[in-house]
Amino acid sequence: MPMGYLDNLIINTDNYKHCHYPLYPPGTEYVSSYIESRGGEWPVTQFVGLQAYLREYLMRPITLEDIDEAEFVVREQGMHFNRENWLGILNDYDGFLPVEIEAVPEGTVLPARNVLVQVINTDPKYFWATSFFETALLRAVWYPTTIGTVSWLSKMVIKEALARTSDNPHLVRNTLHDYGARGVSSQQSAALGGLAHLVNFDQSDTVPGILAAKHFYNAGKVSNSGPNSEHAGFCAWGQEHEADALRNMLDVYAPEGCALLLSDTYDHENCVKKIIGGELREQIRNFPGLVGVRPDSGDIVQVTADTTEWLMDAFGYEVNSKGFKILPPFIRVVQGDGVNFYSLPQVYMELERRGLAADNAVFGMGGGLLQHWNRDTMNFGQKASAVCVNGEWRDIAKNPTGAAFKVSKKGRLALKYENGTYTTVPKGSIPESENVLKPVFRNGKLLKKWDFTELIANAEREVPESYYISHVGQMRTVSNEAAVSAPA
């Protein structure tokens, strides 16, 4: 979903890309490159988002007008521009890039430092095309893949918490809501990051992400939301009428069966104890659905647990089969402020310390989900690994002395999956039928169209504990001594 004037593929790149084609050896015919996470904050990646780029950009042919515009812009910057290269693509391939792209099935979670995407030109005349669109292709991969990984690892935290203290592990996909639209740098980021989150969860208010999942991946219903509140509406009633503001929302949205009440417009503790748990207690008990109590400030770890306990004082609780206290089904804590990749496990650990079940609270994540990351978080890179010169293939790689993680892979690559383990291997060393990399694009045509249900199925596959233990392991240090004993 580009911004009109940014559609032109020829200038959707770094300017210096235009001067690279004569720098290859004479007789160069093919260039093969690949994309990987070279390691970083996490040991795994969840691959997602490539199809959106292919459909939006590479399936749209360049035009003569695009060439004219690019020539003017590039030359104006003092950069070399080869018009004949682009006229050749326009006339020989109807404006589509003559490249083939292979990729891992979208939604797949696999260890970092494995090939995710492999690109090669399909016509020796256009050997330079492989690396020309690296800027846009790498951006299209690193961002949604990084957000998908953040979301997936957060899901592993929630699964762990539910497994430890809850009787309702099936709630995992309904526990983390995407509120990141206002916290990202662009609507396109909201779209790509939002769709990546929806691979793992069924909760979102990020409309661009919902639309992107439908537009690019044929998604059906992928998200749930419900009536929530904001401070503007509640402040408008004035502090002396805070109870009336809350009561009004309960009245208005009773037919919807859901009302999420902000509780920190003024004094959160007073609101929970005296208004929600006092003046409005019977109305909430009789509400035909779920009432969420949403603190929006304070120490996230303490306020989530405190609010849960205050609500239990007012509405009671049961003890589940694992010995943890659980609120009545009509009321939950809804925590969004301060929720991020690092704080979420801390919240669950505090709930467990106090003997409170994980499913007392649901969460929303905003900028901490969609914005707090960059390409270096997982050190994404696209590198050439093989060239064919005068009919002879050469394995090539960079091996800088100043950064060991930047050492690149050699040769044409394949991805092997055997006994639960992914390994990047030389292409040709395994039968193509066993190669996890699948051709998805060639010369302007989509060879494989991923449906969103396939992404979800790939993401739900069982994986080794080593994929997530570095993030989840801290939760296993919590003592169960605080848990109350289950009734006989």
**183 marked among binding-site residues:** no
Report the largest interatomic distance among the alpha carbons of the chain, rounded to a whole angstrom: 84
Overall residue count recorded for the chain in this entry: 488
83 is annotated as contributing to ligand binding: no
296 marked as part of a ligand binding site: yes
Instruction: Using CA atoms of 410, 415, 418, 419 in order, give the dihedral in degrees to the nearest 10.
Output: 90
Q: State yes or no: 476 annotated in a binding site.
A: no
Three-state secondary-structure class, residue 176: strand
Distance, in Å, from the CA atom of 450 to the CA atom of 48, rounded to the nearest integer, reads: 10
- Domains of the chain by range and CATH? 9-132+379-450 (3.20.140.10), 168-372 (3.20.20.70)
Q: For position 454, what pLDDT does the model report?
A: 98
Q: Look up residue 27 and give its amino acid.
A: G
Q: What is the pTM of this model?
A: 0.95
Q: What is the pLDDT of residues 205-214, one digit of tens each?
A: 999 999 999 9
Strands 392-395, 413-418: pairing kind: unpaired
Residues 6+ apart with CB under 8 A from 323: 355, 480, 483, 484, 485, 486
Q: Is the pLDDT of residue 4 over 70?
A: no
**Taking 80 as the threshold, does the pLDDT of residue 1 lie above it?**
no
CA distance 257 to 287: 8
Whole-number pLDDT of residue 482: 52
pLDDT digits (tens, 9 = 90+) for 369-419: 999 999 999 999 999 999 999 999 999 998 888 778 788 999 999 999 999
Determine whether the annotation assigns residue 367 to a binding site.
Answer: yes
Q: Beta strands 99-103 and 438-442: pairing type?
A: antiparallel
Does residue 169 contact residue 162 with C-beta atoms inside 8 Å?
yes
Question: Do the Cβ atoms of 478 and 353 come closer than 8 Å?
Answer: yes
Strand boundaries in 404-483, DSSP class E: 413-418, 421-426, 438-442, 445-446
Question: Is residue 202 annotated as involved in ligand binding?
Answer: no
Please indicate if the annotation marks 381 as binding a ligand.
no
Asked if residues 366 and 336 have their Cβ atoms less than 8 Å apart, the reply is: yes
- DSSP-assigned letters across all residues of 408-427: PP-SSEEEEEETTEEEEEET
473 is annotated as contributing to ligand binding: no
- Mean pLDDT estimate for the chain: 95
Q: Report pLDDT digits (tens) over 273-332.
A: 999 999 999 999 999 999 999 998 899 999 999 999 999 999 999 999 999 999 999 999
**Residue 100 scores a pLDDT above 60:** yes
